[in-house]
Amino acid sequence: MTSYKIEAGTAQHIGNRPQQNDRTALMTGARAPGYVLAVLSDGIASSAGAEQVLHTARQVFDEFKPGDRPSLERLTQVLQDMVSEAHLVIKMNAVAAKAEIHASFVGLILTPHGEAVWAHVGDSRLYRFENGRCALRTSDAAYVDHLLADRLPLDAAKNHRKSKLLLNVLGNERKDPYVTVGSHTGLAAGDCFLLCSDGLWHFFTDAELAAVTSKASPRQASEMLINKAGERSQGKGGNCTMAIIKLVKPAQDGSFAANKVV
């Protein structure tokens, strides 16, 4: 039995782009009571890739049967299955459409045993906050190390976003996505997770994001971050999307609270 309840919400803003290519969702497992999935994807050039990511994530999560208590490795594999299956389908869809379809991926599973497991591909990010401070955030650092291990020159590795061959995304027909994974146990009230696209994180420091998410509800934090991102981008910001999952002291009914801002 966990010593917290979950407050969660999602939010999006189109920015100055002609369409919203990001997608995000919060899900509960059809066969996994007490398990929660948060997933976010940034579609590159169109929303097709991101929509496929969410569709595949829901299918894989609905098929997940945890049993008594799955290992962290098994939970990680669930997220990796989402990545590999979505990557395959996106590539097939791109062939049919005769167009390039790419997307990022951030997925987070919370268990009823106080555990969190996540996976990350591309420019979108996951942050983990503890009592108002940033304890961790995903980045491209692990991917750059991976490229260097493949004997790629440092300058080329650091400039991988400029190369279709090296770009780390789902749907890249030249290279399978490199998945960064992580986990944390002993979750408690005061912990918070933020999944967001680069249209949000580009405009904030880790400390700013930690402060806002710790002091406000997911709905209030989403509104503040979207408004401030709009100010700082001076009308030139891209799609801005986030999912916030806060662990708070339980109410008497131990309920799950969710809200959404569009």
Closest CA to 39 of 18, 17, 62: 62
Q: Using one digit for the tens of pLDDT, what is the confidence trace for 47-100?
A: 999 999 999 999 999 999 999 999 999 999 999 999 999 999 999 999 999 999
Percent of the chain with pLDDT over 70: 93
Both tokens assigned to 210: 């930690």
Residue 114 has pLDDT above 60, yes or no: yes
Q: Token match 């167009």: residue?
A: 99
Q: Tell me how far CA of residue 70 lies from CA of 109, 115, 116, in angstroms.
A: 12, 11, 12
The three-state secondary structure class of 67 is coil
- The topology (CATH level 3) of 5-251 is Phosphatase 2c; domain 1 (3.60.40)
With 70 as the cut, is the pLDDT of residue 163 above it? yes
Q: Where are the domains of the chain?
A: 5-251
Confidence band (pLDDT; 50, 70, 90) for 262?
very low
* pLDDT range class, residue 160, cuts 50, 70, 90: confident
Helices and strands per DSSP (H, E), number in the chain? 7, 12
Tell me, what's the pLDDT at 254? 46
Residue 164 pLDDT: 64
Strands (E) located in the chain = 5-13, 22-29, 32-44, 102-103, 105-110, 115-121, 125-130, 133-137, 180-185, 191-196, 240-248, 257-261
More confident residue, 236 or 128: 128
| Per-residue model confidence as pLDDT tens digits over 202-234 | 999 999 999 999 999 999 999 999 999 999 999
pLDDT digits (tens, 9 = 90+) for 128-138: 999 999 999 99
pLDDT, average across residues 175-184? 96
Q: What percent of the chain is modeled with pLDDT above 90?
A: 81
Q: Which pLDDT value is given to residue 200?
A: 97
pLDDT higher than threshold 70 for residue 241:
yes
pLDDT exceeds cutoff 60 at 45: yes
List, for residues 243-257, the tens digit of each pLDDT value: 999 999 986 654 455
Q: What is the pTM of this model?
A: 0.92
